[in-house]
Amino acid sequence: MSAISASEKVDGFTRKSMRKAQKQRKSQGSSQYRTHTAPVELSPLPQLKDAPSTEQQELFTQKLQQCCMLFDFLDSVTDLKSKEIKRATLNELVDYVSTNRGVLVEPAYPEITNMICTNIFRVLPPSDNPDFDPEEDEPTLEAAWPHIQLVYEFLLRFLENPDFQPSIAKRYIDQKFVLQLLELFDSEDPRERDFLKTILHRIYGKFLGLRAFIRKQINNIFLRFIYETEHFNGVAELLEILGSIINGFALPLKAEHKQFLMKVLIPLHTAKGLALFHAQLAYCVVQFLEKDPTLTEPVIRGLLKFWPKTCSQKEVMFLGEIEEILDVIEPTQFKKIQEPLFKQISKCVTNPHFQVAERALYFWNNEYILSLIEENIDKILPIMFGSLYRISKEHWNPTIVALVYNVLKTLMEMNCTLFDELTSSYKADRQRKRKKTSIISSMADNISACNNECEFRGSRHLVLIIIIIWTFMLF
């Protein structure tokens, strides 16, 4: 308590970054519901490569069993010797399955999967920091990583071994295994999620029978993330896997996949932490549209429905995604959505946040989009004109004003007559409005003049109502 500096006492509101700097990077043990028995001390076994080939298999099994012993890494002083033995053994096992042929005999499968399950499947601990912000805060790292990393490494080498037989392994790598694996994607440790991503991808590739199940479970995780918890650390990784899965979908797309796009991927855009996985999400969406261009209209309408209302950062991301979609859009599809889409874009260019306006105006630097606009200039120009003309006069940011001039110039070159028509009608409109304003203000003056003569204060309300009605009548 006494260690608080005088400045902090005066200020009271120490900056967040300062407080964060004081916190040190923490690591966390997994929430193994520990049985209260202490681990037995391990004794080193002979090296596999030194054993005669007849005994190698037996020794391999023994080593796998030895690696099922779990240690408490939060306590950095106990069992040091045993921890080191296990680490060395795991290293040796990784080496053994990746360099040797013919080691994956059928009886080894249950031992291998048992060792893997015991080590990696654990309940993730409660987050240290309940309002963990993945963009700002340092993640809590897994304390047992020195061992767990090697187990993941081993699992990966096991799956990639040329002798690996999915037909035998599917008895052990089953739905339950996958489910537990998927739950681990919530780990705060990015190193772990990275391993999981590669591993799940291999499993998806090798076990045809698990594919639909994996997709469905990912679906469930996303839906829960969107509508229930809003918290899951591994969304980006899962989307990355899905990106390559979607790439491999056969045509025509199954209803199930379309439903996934519309009911899961599009609502995923509403998530608070969109910035963390937007790149992967946009990639998935574009993959779908490249497969089946007829999905363009519903997708864009979906994005327009969920268009951010207050978060400028997200709005910039949405605009980025729209540009990616427009990059691959077919002209016939473009015609179907141009009106609602450009109404939104027209709102974006007038956004007072210059990054939003700028991002929208960058569309005019894109050759393909430009050609689409030119083809449909008679539809698009009337939608865009008012906003562009107005911000060319009114936007506070000089860069935006400069960009708008260029855009207006480009549009003018596309259809000069229409542009002139719009200019004159816009001006006339403005003039009419200005006239109305002056009429209203003169009326207001009149009213206030007669109001002064009124004896009853209550009549003011009446006058106000009259003003409102006149205002309505004029517009």
Partner 1 sequence: MTLKKITGFAKQEQIRNSSEIHGFAKGRRRSKLREGEGPAAAAFWQKPRSVAPQRHSVTATVSKMAGADGDDSLYPIAVLIDELRNEDVQLRLNSIKKLSTIALALGVERTRTELLPFLTDTIYDEDEVLLALAEQLGNFTMLVGGPEYVHCLLPPLESLATVEETVVRDKAVESLRKISQEHSPVDLEVHFEPLVKRLASGDWFTSRTSACGLFSVCYPRVSSTVKAEIRQHFRTLCSDDTPMVRRAAASKLGEFAKVLELEYVKSDIISLFTALASDEQDSVRLLAVEACVSIATLLPQEDLETLVMPTLRQAAEDKSWRVRYMVADKFSELQKAVGPEITKNDLVPAFQNLLKDCEAEVRAAAANKVKEFCENLPEDNREQIIMTHILPCVKELVSDTNQHVKSALASVIMGLSTILGKDNTIEHLLPLFLAQLKDECPEVRLNIISNLDCVNEVIGIRQLSQSLLPAIVELAEDAKWRVRLAIIEYMPLLAGQLGVEFFDEKLNTLCMAWLIDHVYAIREAATCNLMKLVEKFGAEWAQNTIVPKVLGMANDPNYLHRMTTLFCINALSKACGQEITTKQMLPVVLKMSNDQVANVRFNVAKSLQKIGPILDSNALQTEVKPVLEKLASDTDMDVKYFAQEAISVLALA
Binders of partner 1 in range 247-286 (CB under 8 A): 263, 267
Residue 287 near residue 326 (C-beta atoms within 8 A): no
Half-sphere exposure of residue 30: CA atoms within 13 angstroms, side-chain side: 22
Among 18, 80, 123, 454, binds partner 1 (CB under 8 A): 123
19 binds partner 1 (CB under 8 A): no
Binding of residue 41 to partner 1 (CB under 8 A): no
31 touching partner 1, by CB under 8 A: yes
Return the residue of 125, 146, 166, 205 that touches partner 1, per CB under 8 A.
Answer: 125
445 binds partner 1 (CB under 8 A): no
Q: Is 4 in the site for partner 1 (CB under 8 A)?
A: yes
**Binding-site string for partner 1 from residue 80 to residue 109, where x marks contact by CB under 8 A and - marks none:** ------------------------------
Encoded tokens for 114: 């048992």
Q: In 10 A of CB 263, how many CB atoms?
A: 15
Is 428 a residue that touches partner 1 (CB under 8 A)? Answer: no
Which residue in 20, 176, 254, 427 binds partner 1 (CB under 8 A)? 176
Q: Are 59 and 46 in contact (CB under 8 A)?
A: yes
Among 47, 99, 220, 399, binds partner 1 (CB under 8 A): 220
Among 18, 416, 454, 468, binds partner 1 (CB under 8 A): 468
Burial of 470 from C-beta contacts in 10 A (0-12 / 13-18 / 19+): middle
Q: Can residue 308 be called a binding residue for partner 1 (CB under 8 A)? A: no
- Letter string b/e over residues 404-442, b meaning 16 or more CB atoms within 10 A of that residue's CB: beebbeebeebbeebbeebeeeeeeeeeeeeeeeeeeee
Question: With respect to partner 1, which residue has the nearer C-beta, 304 or 401?
Answer: 304
How far is residue 102's CA from residue 164's CA, in Å, rounded to a whole number? 9
Residue 10 C-beta-side C-alpha neighbours within 13 Å = 3
Q: Which stretch in 83-91, 94-102, 223-231, 330-338 sits in contact with partner 1 by CB under 8 A?
A: 223-231
The nearest distance, CB 61 to partner 1, in angstroms, is 26
According to DSSP, residue 142 is labeled E
Q: What torsion, rounded to 10 degrees, do the Cα atoms 262, 265, 271, 275 define?
A: -140
CB atoms within 10 A of CB 319: 24
- Determine, following the binding rule CB under 8 A, whether residue 131 of this chain makes contact with partner 1: no
Element (H, E) at 417: helix 416-453
Question: From the CB of 66, what's the least distance to partner 1, in Å?
Answer: 23
> Shortest gap between Cβ of 121 and partner 1 (angstroms)?
10
Q: CB within 8 A of 200, min separation 6: which ones?
A: 178, 181, 182, 214, 241
CB of 439 to partner 1, least distance (A): 14
Which residues are bridge partners to 141 per DSSP? 27
Candidates 141, 156, 223, 463; binder of partner 1 (CB under 8 A) is 223
**Cβ 462 to partner 1 shortest distance, Å:** 9
Q: List Cβ<8 Å contacts ≥24 apart for 423-428.
A: 423/385, 423/389, 426/385, 426/386, 426/389
Interface with partner 1 includes 398 (CB under 8 A)?
no
Cα separation, 437 vs 197, whole angstroms = 63
Examine residue 305 and tell whether it contacts partner 1 (CB under 8 A): yes
- Return the residue of 52, 126, 398, 458 that touches partner 1, per CB under 8 A: 126
Residue among 311 and 466 whose Cβ is closer to partner 1: 466
Cα–Cα distance for residue pair 265/258, rounded to 1 Å: 10
Residues in the chain, overall count: 475
Q: Spell out the SS3 assignment of 319-351.
A: HHHHHHHHHHCCHHHHHHHHHHHHHHHHHHHCC
CB of 107 to partner 1, least distance (A): 28
The CB-of-228 to partner 1 minimum distance in angstroms stands at 7
Cβ of residue 141: shortest distance to partner 1, in angstroms? 18
Binding partner 1 (rule: CB under 8 A), the pick from 23, 26, 34, 81 is 34
Judged by CB under 8 A, the number of residues near partner 1 is 31
- For the chain, the distance separating the N- and C-terminal CA atoms, rounded to the nearest angstrom, is 66
Residue 205, SS3?
Answer: helix
CB-nearer residue toward partner 1: 396 or 475: 475
Which residues form the interface with partner 1 (CB under 8 A)? 1, 4, 8-10, 12, 31-34, 123, 125-126, 176, 179, 216, 220, 223-224, 227-228, 263, 267, 301, 305, 465-466, 468-469, 472-473
